[in-house]
Amino acid sequence: MTNVHNEEANPLLRSLWDESEEFQAEALRDYYKVTFVRNPLVRLVSGYRNKIVRNPRDHYLIIIQEIIANYYGTNAALHWLPRHKYRPSFEQFVSYLLEGEKVMNNAHWAPYADNIGLCGVEFDLLGQLETANQHIEEMKRQVPSLADTPFPLSRVDLSRDDYSSEELTTLAFSNLTTILQEGVYKLYQREINLLGYSVIGSQKFPFINLTHVTVEQPGNS
C-alpha cells in the first residue's frame, strides 16, 4: 500500500459513501471501522505543502490563481503558470481559506467533524497519526488478516523531509499574524478538544493522547 490516494492501485480504499445505501448500512453495522486523525494545525500545513507548494494540480491551480488575484491583481493571476516558481506564502494561503469559510470546501483542511462522520460513526479504532505505528500494530492484532499488510512510512522515515511535520508546523505558524493564528485556532478548537490535541506553544504539542478523547454522540454534533 504505497499510495493511499490511488484508488486504481488500492481498490479497497474506495469511499464508503460511493457505495449503495444498503452496503453502507451493512458496513457500519458489521465491519471493523477505523479512522486515523491528525492534529489539525499540522494537517493544515501538510495540506498547504502538498497541494499548493510541491506539485499543485487541478482545482488547486485555481486556488493559487485566486490568491494571486487577491494580492497582485487579475492580470498577474491570468499570466501565472504552474511551471513558475512562485507559490503563495502560508500567510496568504491561510488568509484566503478563512475568508468566507473557503476552508470548508476541501477535505484536506476542513474540520474532521464535517467530513469523516466523526460524531456519527462508532469506530472500533480511533488512531492518531502522530503515533500511527502503535495503532497499526493494535489494528493488526484485532484484525489478523492485516498482519502482513505493509503500511506507508512518513516522509521523514523515507528521508524526504529533514524536519518533522510538527517542526514545520511551528515554523509556518510563526509567520502568521496573531489575528490569523487566532482565526485558525477558533476554526479547529472543537476538533482539538475532541481529539486530545493541543495548540502550538503548548509543551504537549502536537497532542496529548487518546485517553483525553471524548467523541460526541450523534445528537450532540
- Give the pLDDT of the chain (221 residues) as one tens digit per residue: 445 555 555 556 677 778 899 998 998 899 988 888 888 999 999 999 999 998 888 889 999 999 999 999 999 998 998 888 889 999 999 999 998 777 787 888 888 766 656 667 788 888 888 888 888 889 899 999 988 888 877 665 665 666 778 888 999 999 999 999 999 999 998 888 888 888 887 666 665 544 444 334 444 44
CB 126 within 8 A of CB 37: yes
Nearest to 52 by CA among 40, 180, 44: 44
CB 150 within 8 A of CB 1: yes
pTM for the model stands at: 0.77
* Angle at which helices 40-48 and 178-195 cross, to 10°: 120
